Structure 1
Amino acid sequence: MSLSEIEIVSDSSKTNSTGQQPVILDVFGASAYGDLPKLTKFVQQDGVSLSQPDANGYYPLQWASLNNFPHLAHYIIQHGGDVHAVDNVRQTALHWAAVRGSVAAADVLLQNGARVEVPDVNGYRAVHVAAQYGQTSFLNYIVSKYHADFDAPDNDGRTPLHWAAYKGFADTIRLLLFWDAFQGKQDKEGCTPLHWAALRGNLEACVVLMHAGTKQELTVKDSAGFTPAQIAADRGHHHVSLILSNALRGHNSCWKDRAWINRARDIGYAPILFCIVFACTIIFINSVLFASNLQKITAVVGLWGWTAVSLSVASLLVFIRCSSKDPGYVKTSGGIRSIAGAEGPLLTIDLASTANWIGNWSQLCPTCKVLIKSFRVHLQQV
């Protein structure tokens, strides 16, 4: 089993780690370092073209996008730079922006016609690159605002979830599961994301996938006939193998015992609660109000008894109405957008605002489709 890494120049000689003033000799260096005055000089005074690549086949727009210089990206596009231009491995400037999570630069590219679903020679789209480098905010941004396909397979049938699991980026995994990424997708080798997480011994990634998945993901075998637990054991990741094996045994041991619980969950607990309250009301009437072996009750006691029965019946009627209706939502200050079919601001968050997401990825709830921390903040503001 092997994964082909993305080939993109993210650490180039154009990046200066010494802190010294860089020597900029061409439009590529000016684009990489964000020097707009020099870039302007090269273009307007020297007549240098921004639509031609350097000796390695890389474009000025790619360098500006990689290092997140949106003003340079805008200038390059306005002066002949092509957002659709590709290098030797057919990667666009948007691919390069995804490497370092350059949201601002990517926004300029996409607003000027860049296509979010363009694949390179390996079939990697911007969502794959973002998952490979753990750029969770960038991935969320292009999915929520530009509707990028977060479940798209590459040439080997691997989705962004496969890559995030392989690289061990648990926050990216949480986001993809929050978006309902298909956890059971198998690549050309029959491997699911859990297989790749187990292969690398990524414990947190395995735990996130295991808790969000079902027994099927634990038992599925790759083309060689190995389950995720077996792959982890074979690679020497015994702690991961032990956790996955124990989870599988837990599923097997309580499967039959929990069958009635699962049926109860399908029905819901409201009918059970209704029956309990109704039965208690009947017992009260029969044992107190209509009891033949008790002394004759006074008018006050009778009034109290029938008042209690009336309140109980009224409560049951209100309970039926409440359990069959939409409970509604808490209004917020506005400006939030619905996702995944959620109805009302209670189940919505502003996905296009990167500030709402920074550092909060562990607060995602794939079941309720809310960002727990942001939801609490909204409630405190009401």
Structure 2
Amino acid sequence: MARSIAAKKLHKAAESGDRDNAKEALDEGADVNAKGGFFGSAWHAAASNGHREILRLLLDQPGAEPDIKDRSGRTPLWLAAREGFTDMVETLMATGMVDPCSGSITGRNALWWPSSNGHTDVVRLLLKAGVDPHMSCENGMTSLDVAQRNGHLELVSLF
């Protein structure tokens, strides 16, 4: 019971970017990989909201699994890439513990949203890591397609 209370505290702290409360929750026994909360886990909350210090704190924990998937099949890397958080993408990839080619349940890999949103630096990192720009999602569109559709010509030239 105490662990689940600590996990809820961790999820809220990760969502709000409150490093002190996140650390306290971990010290109280919160499982770094516990699922729950609005975002699915503390990992997903930190990645979605750009909370770099929380991400680093989570990475420093024993048993850390930074490639954890939410109910939609998205990883923290996928979410950080979608939002254009280049440094978080770099940090996660540098661990060697994440699969940059992993896709969501809709078939969108980590390259799809940064291509759609024009996050050039993230796209470069993911292409260098071998993420396939020609993988299509449930509606048949590829990362290349959405980059073209949204007028991100500098990205199109990278593919």
Same fold (TM over 0.5): yes
1:84 maps to amino acid: S
**How far apart, CA to CA, are the structure 2 residues paired with 1:205 and 1:123?**
22
Give a deviation string over 1:189-235, Cα, whole Å, max 9, x none. Answer: 10110112112221121112122x22x52232222222211111123
**How far apart, CA to CA, are the structure 1 residues paired with 2:83 and 2:64?**
21
Give a deviation string over 1:240-262, Cα, whole Å, max 9, x none. Answer: 22333xxxxxxxxxxxxxxxxxx
Structure 2 contact 127–133 (Cα < 8 Å) conserved: yes
**How far apart, CA to CA, are the structure 2 residues paired with 1:102 and 1:146?**
20
**How far apart, CA to CA, are the structure 2 residues paired with 1:157 and 1:191?**
10
**How far apart, CA to CA, are the structure 1 residues paired with 2:155 and 2:72?**
25
CA separation of 1:169 and 1:110: change in aligned 2, threshold 3 A = same
Q: Does 1:218 align with 2:133?
A: yes
Q: Does 1:84 align with 2:4?
A: yes
Give a deviation string over 1:48-103, Cα, whole Å, max 9, x none. Answer: xxxxxxxxxxxxxxxxxxxxxxxxxxxxxxxxxx66349xxxx8111121134333
Aligned counterpart, 1:197: 114
Aligned counterpart, 1:179: 95
How many correspondences in the alignment? Answer: 157
The alpha carbon displacement at 1:123 in A equals 6.0
The alpha carbon displacement at 1:133 in A equals 1.2
Structure 2 contact 11–37 (Cα < 8 Å) conserved: no
Structure 2 contact 103–109 (Cα < 8 Å) conserved: yes
Q: Which residue, out of 40, 44, 47, partners 1:128?
A: 44
Aligned to 2:36, the other structure's residue is in SS state coil
Give a deviation string over 1:283-302, Cα, whole Å, max 9, x none. Answer: xxxxxxxxxxxxxxxxxxxx
The alpha carbon displacement at 1:122 in A equals 5.4
Aligned counterpart, 2:18: 102
**How far apart, CA to CA, are the structure 2 residues paired with 1:141 and 1:103?**
8
Give the number of the structure with larger relative contact order, counting CA–CA contacts within 8 Å between residues 6 or more apart. Answer: 2
CA separation of 1:186 and 1:240: change in aligned 2, threshold 3 A = same
1:187 maps to amino acid: S
Question: Could you list the runs of 5+ residues in structure 2 that have no partner in the other structure?
Answer: none
CA separation of 1:152 and 1:202: change in aligned 2, threshold 3 A = same
Q: Report % sequence identity.
A: 25
Structure 1 contact 221–227 (Cα < 8 Å) conserved: yes
Q: Give runs of aligned pairs for residues 1-382 of structure 1, distance below 5 A.
A: 84-85=4-5, 92-120=8-36, 124-180=40-96, 181-211=98-128, 213-214=129-130, 217-244=132-159
CA separation of 1:144 and 1:120: change in aligned 2, threshold 3 A = same
Structure 1 contact 229–242 (Cα < 8 Å) conserved: no
CA separation of 1:201 and 1:156: change in aligned 2, threshold 3 A = same
The alpha carbon displacement at 1:109 in A equals 1.1
Question: Could you list the runs of 5+ residues in structure 1 that have no partner in the other structure?
Answer: 1-81, 245-382
Structure 1 runs (4+) greater than 3 angstroms displaced:
none
TM-score, normalization: structure 2?
0.86
Give the number of the structure whose alpha-carbon radius of gyration is greater. 1
